[in-house]
A and B are shown apart, each in its own frame.
Chain A
Amino acid sequence: MPPVARESRNGDVPPAHWAFPQLWPGMFHAVRGISDPIQLTARCVVVDSSLPRPRSADVRSSTLVGVLIGIAIMAAVDEIVFHQLLAWHHFYDRSTPSVALLSDGLLHAAELIILVGGFFWFADLRRRRALSNRLAWGGFLLGAGGFQVFDGVVDHKVLRLHQIRYGVHLLPYDVLWIASGAVLLLAGAGVVWWARSRRPDSRPR
């Protein structure tokens, strides 16, 4: 009897990595293949009552949703603290080239969409009980640190959109900015690694 049940389950439910095969387009993929994740989830929720919880957590989505929210929160902190409260960053820097202006506009618009989309996706995962909190926190740190490093290196140094502060010696600020991002990034990687190693079952192959 048990083998039969398992066989039928394997028959019509795709394995977890089939439903979420890609890392980045996963957000849209989860939407496009709308019927598959839902079927999968319906089963997972049933499985959840009989098997240990980790089986139902969606590893990639949990991590990725954390990354998205981390990026968006860090971008919001940057905007609110450094642009508005401290007024260290300038709205526009005379030396900004127009290509940088374009990429800045795109990034800025994307950050807001990521913030909103990330939270809705987070709520969706929670509702489906497919969220792993530890992985989401790890992803959050990864996203926040990644954004900080990206902002420090690409926005400030490569594109020269604006500098951290004006009228000061910049080097210590840049070093501190990028190093703090790197620390967050490493911490995030550590948390994700730790969370994954605690649940070998749910690691995607």
Chain B
Amino acid sequence: MTVAGPLAHAGHGAAGPSWFPLFPVALLAVCYVLAAVRDPRGWDHRRTAAWLVGCALLAVAVGPLAQLPDNPSGHMAQHLLLGMLAPLGLVLAAPVTLLLRVAPPPMRRLVGRLLRARPLHLLAHPFTAALLTTGGLALVLLTPLYAVAERHPVLHHAVHLHYLAAGYLFAWSLAGPDPAPHRPGLAVRVGALLAASAGHAVLAKYLYAQAETLPPGLTDREPEAFRSAAQLMYYGGDLAELLLAVALFATWYHRRIGSRRDAPTTVTGRAPSTPDLGTGTEARPGRTRSGRLP
């Protein structure tokens, strides 16, 4: 960041520990590939590719980008990768469906029960998830939290973890191929995407306009660097919105082929307690959607 040098570097640590976040990312990639290989029915390679792309984006965000000398644009690129682009790849890889295929029955039951839990439905509602992503970002950038996170590595990583989790939740609630009981209809999801993207764009322009004073609490600032970071945020947000919209409408488009054929048999919207879930290539959301029709 543009805070004084020693403070900034305290936040990122020396060369050693800052590479540490790469290990969980590598672990995620390896676990998924091992599970995909073990899947008895054969796992769609495109899903594996989506997962690996997501992991690669994560690795770029927590590895090389974290090593760069501090500047607002680097932080913004990290946010874009962690909170918007990588989660979409991870979500499209349908990890829960894969887990349900290869896990032993007790684990499947547990996942099924978890997916049926009411708090999860509330948390995974598109508007809740939109609030968590865009609202969380606004909280970081408009309050002294940004400056504090610069100085405390633990908080810094916690913020990144929040970006990733909220981004994953949002992408899953909109367009995830994984089972999602009680997922709202297309109009609600498009509305949530609109709200989140508009919030993101407004926040970016507001930061651009107020680059002299925002984010608050920094000791040393370069407004010009923050303006270019705000522009990156604006156009990067557009890219993420575009990809999310494509994923969202693609589930709708593919759903309509299927519903012509098997509309009478999909009147369930049930939670996935059986191993027999998801083909791995079908768009799941429409199933719960059509379950709501009379």
Interface size on A, residues (CB 8 A): 27
Q: How far is the CA of A105 from the CA of B208 in the complex (A)?
A: 13
In the complex, chain B residues whose CB is within 8 Å of the CB of A28: 186-187, 190
In the complex, chain A residues whose CB is within 8 Å of the CB of B187: 28, 31-32
CB pair A109–B246 under 8 Å, yes or no, is no
In the complex, chain B residues whose CB is within 8 Å of the CB of A106: 194, 198, 202
Q: How far is the CA of A92 from the CA of B290 in the complex (A)?
A: 44
Q: Check if A8 is an interface residue, CB within 8 A of chain B.
A: no
Q: Check if A157 is an interface residue, CB within 8 A of chain B.
A: no
In the complex, chain B residues whose CB is within 8 Å of the CB of A96: 209
Q: Check if B73 is an interface residue, CB within 8 A of chain A.
A: no
Classify the secondary structure of B's interface with A: helix
Interface size on B, residues (CB 8 A): 35
In the complex, chain B residues whose CB is within 8 Å of the CB of A32: 185-187
CB pair A112–B199 under 8 Å, yes or no, is no
Residue in A42, A104, A112, A117 with the greatest tally of chain B CB atoms within 10 Å = A112
Query: Given that A31-B187, A117-B245 are contacting pairs, would A109 and B201 also be in contact in the complex, using a CB cutoff of 8 Å?
Result: yes
Q: How far is the CA of A102 from the CA of B249 in the complex (A)?
A: 25
Of the candidates B208, B242, B253, B260, which one forms a contact with A91 in the assembled complex, judged by CB atoms under 8 Å apart?
B208
Question: Which A residues contact B (CB, under 8 angstroms)?
Answer: 28, 31-32, 34-35, 38, 42, 91-92, 96, 98, 101-102, 104-106, 108-110, 112-113, 115-117, 120, 123-124
Question: Which B residues contact A (CB, under 8 angstroms)?
Answer: 185-187, 190, 193-194, 197-202, 205-206, 208-209, 231, 234, 238, 241-242, 245-246, 248-250, 252-253, 256, 259-260, 263, 289-290, 293
Q: A28-B187, A124-B253 are in contact. List 6 more A-B contacts (CB 8 A).
A: A32-B186, A35-B259, A98-B206, A101-B206, A109-B193, A109-B197
